[in-house]
Amino acid sequence: MTDSRAEQARIERQMRKGVLGVAALAALLEAPAHGYALAQRLKDVLGSSVAEGTLYPLLASFEAAGWVKHDWDTQQAGPARKVHSLTPAGEQAAASLLTSWRETASRIEDMGK
């Protein structure tokens, strides 16, 4: 990989890390999800996998902030799954952060014109 490509890849990784929290909240705003399904949704959106060692601490921090709660899904075959969903405070935080994200993205796009 050339130095230019390596630098672009590095910046793209940083960008994905920077928006992971907003992306996770947006995904939970769409629908509650268990960890694996949320990781798959984020992979689809961000274009790379999210490690469990990154996702679960993020969810724990959201829960500590009062933004996320979990219930146990015992309807599926196999072991019970922890299903994460947004609390009303989490919905407000997600909406606010998404607005901030859109405004920031718009300003960055305007700079490139």
Whole-model pTM over 0.85: yes
Strands 68-73 and 33-34, by their bridges, are unpaired
Give the structural domain span for 37. 3-111
In the chain, the percentage of residues whose pLDDT exceeds 70 is 99
Stretch among 4-8, 52-56, 76-80 having the lowest mean pLDDT? 76-80
pLDDT in tens, 59-93: 999 999 999 999 998 887 888 889 999 999 999 99
Give the CATH number, domain containing residue 74.
Answer: 1.10.10.10
pLDDT in tens, 14-25: 988 889 999 999
Sheet with strand 81-86: strands edge to edge: 33-34, 81-86, 68-73
Q: Is residue 1 pLDDT above 70, yes or no?
A: no
Domain count, the chain: 1
Question: What average pLDDT score do residues 27-36 get?
Answer: 95
Contact 94, 32 (CB under 8 A): no
